Homo-oligomer: A and B are copies of this chain.
């Protein structure tokens, strides 16, 4: 097969992405230049960060150009290599595109993966991928919560949040999660071992803050923030002195004009810190994180859920489910 099927950005989305913002295109599989290799992508990681890459402004990555395939992490098999780093038949992961075939090069993002360490190659897009590494370095390198601490996690049933909570529980920390709806809340306590769960649905800042206060009467020492908006403001109203807010994502604001955090004053009152966190800070330590997370998963100490949607024609559907919150685990798109 010499066709590369690609999920192309046709127009910059306004708010929630729509079908007319994208098109599928069949293009020739690209020729492999010196120093390059051709990857047959098996799985693509569908992440909230993709939404930001579609905007013209760019953020920590250049915007996806109109007419190009949408950027995503993928895992796949090398079909042909003119690069010393990899050989045909190797499994690799890298920051590629939502397309059946990607050209790779030794750019620091692409690296070989060891399927013997995991039960499925998809693990490199979940527990041993960016999601797992984000949880690992956030808990073990930045927050390092202790047994006397309370950690509050928003989007706690999500791919990152569920791992953050489990890692913190291994440290003896009291872990409270915020999620949308009773099913997700039950999953937090019953499946991921959280100490308590709070449903944010239908609550304004005052109501959600009151629920957190009831659950955390001494305040929260750490906040792992994935959501922003109401969740962040309600968390700010419950900080313990010297608290740390690790700002990992603001998914509630990606398709809207941001409402902003209105209770920043609490950072002053509590002499607290809010820290922005991008996993790319830790690129040089990825092997250490992969080893740790794959090891914990193999020992059965971490539960990680994957939600696989099949087919490149489901790419937009998979992305939209993230913003609906209707995914049941790390969202992965199967491309083979």
Q: Which residue among A247, A264, A273 has the maximum number of chain B CB atoms within 10 Å of its CB?
A: A264
Knowing A259-B260, A260-B259, A260-B260, the reply to whether A271 touches B265 (Cβ < 8 A) is: no
Within 8 Å by CB of A271, from B249, B250, B276, lies: B276
Main secondary structure, interface of A, reads loop
Cα distance A271–B248 in the bound complex, in angstroms? 10
Q: Which residues of B contact A278 (CB under 8 A)?
A: 268-269, 271
Chain B residue nearest to A258 in the complex (CB): B262
Binding site for B on A (CB under 8 A): 59-60, 228, 232-233, 247-250, 253, 257-278, 281
Contacts of A269 in B (CB 8 A): 59-60, 276, 278
* Chain B residue nearest to A259 in the complex (CB): B260
What's the Cα separation between A273 and B60 when bound, in Å?
A: 16
Given contacts A59-B269, A60-B269, A271-B281, contact A250 B276 (CB under 8 A): no
A269 CB to nearest chain B CB (Å): 5
Q: Which residues of B contact A272 (CB under 8 A)?
A: 275-276
Question: What is the distance, in angstroms, from A80's C-beta to the closest C-beta of chain B?
Answer: 36
Chain B residues near A60 (CB-CB < 8 A):
268-269
Other-chain residue from B59, B228, B263 in contact with A258 (beta carbon distance below 8 A): B263
A232 and B269 CA atoms in complex are apart in Å by 18
**Which chain B residue lies CB-closest to A245?**
B274
A248 to B271: give the CA distance in the assembly, Å. Answer: 10
Q: Is the CB of B281 within 8 A of A276?
A: no
Which of A233, A261, A263, A271 has the most chain B CB atoms closer than 10 A to its own CB? A271
A268 partner, pick from B248, B260, B262, B267, beta carbons under 8 A: B248
Decide if A268 touches B250 in the complex (CB within 8 Å). yes
Residue ID in chain B nearest A250 by CB atoms? B265
Contact across chains for A265 and B248 when beta carbons are under 8 A apart: no
List the B side residues contacting A270 at CB < 8 Å.
Answer: 276
Q: Give the nearest-CB partner of A272 in chain B.
A: B276
- Whether A247 contacts B267 in the complex (CB less than 8 A), given A273-B275, A276-B272, comes out as yes
Q: A260-B264, A267-B274, A268-B278 are in contact. List 11 more A-B contacts (CB 8 A).
A: A59-B265, A247-B267, A250-B264, A258-B264, A258-B265, A260-B262, A271-B275, A271-B278, A271-B281, A273-B274, A273-B276
Q: Which single member of B259, B265, B273, B277 contacts A262 (CB below 8 Å)?
A: B259
Once bound together, how far apart are the Cα atoms of A281 and B270, in whole Å?
Answer: 10
- Indicate if the CB atoms of B261 and A268 lie closer than 8 Å: no
Closest to A242 in B: B281
**Residues of B contacting A259 in the complex (Cβ-Cβ under 8 angstroms):** 260, 262
